[in-house]
Amino acid sequence: MKKIKLQEFTQHIDKYIEEQQPLALEKNEQVLGFYYPQTEGKKIEALWELLNQTVAKMAQDSDIDSETLINTLDPCHPFSV
């Protein structure tokens, strides 16, 4: 994914909208967020839906609820479950 400065994006937004390329937006060398053109947005939504279905199936197969599974897999909360 191409990284650009937020100021560059705002100054040339028409160009980036036309290019239809996902972008990481940075300020002070830190990623602030992402720009996904609408065509990419639909792909992202489909991937989130697939992820949700996968988590639900894993939780069901493990006989736990989805939230407990997510907390168990979250590296920010080791051994919390």
Burial of 23 (0-12, 13-18, 19+ CB in 10 A): buried
65, part of any domain: yes
Q: What is the pTM (predicted TM-score) of this model?
A: 0.47
Which tens digits make up the pLDDT trace of 23-49? 999 999 999 999 988 776 678 888 899
Total domains, the chain: 2
Residue 64 lies in a domain: yes
Tell me: do 11 and 31 sit in the same domain. yes
Same domain, 19 and 45: no
Confidence (pLDDT) at 59: 92
Q: Please state at what angle helix 66-73 crosses helix 38-62, rounded to 10 degrees.
A: 100
Domain extent at residue 18: 2-35
Residues 29 and 45 in one domain: no
Q: Tokens at residue 40, please? A: 């990419």
Contact 4, 10 (CB under 8 A): no
- For 54-71, the pLDDT digits (tens) are 999 999 999 999 998 888
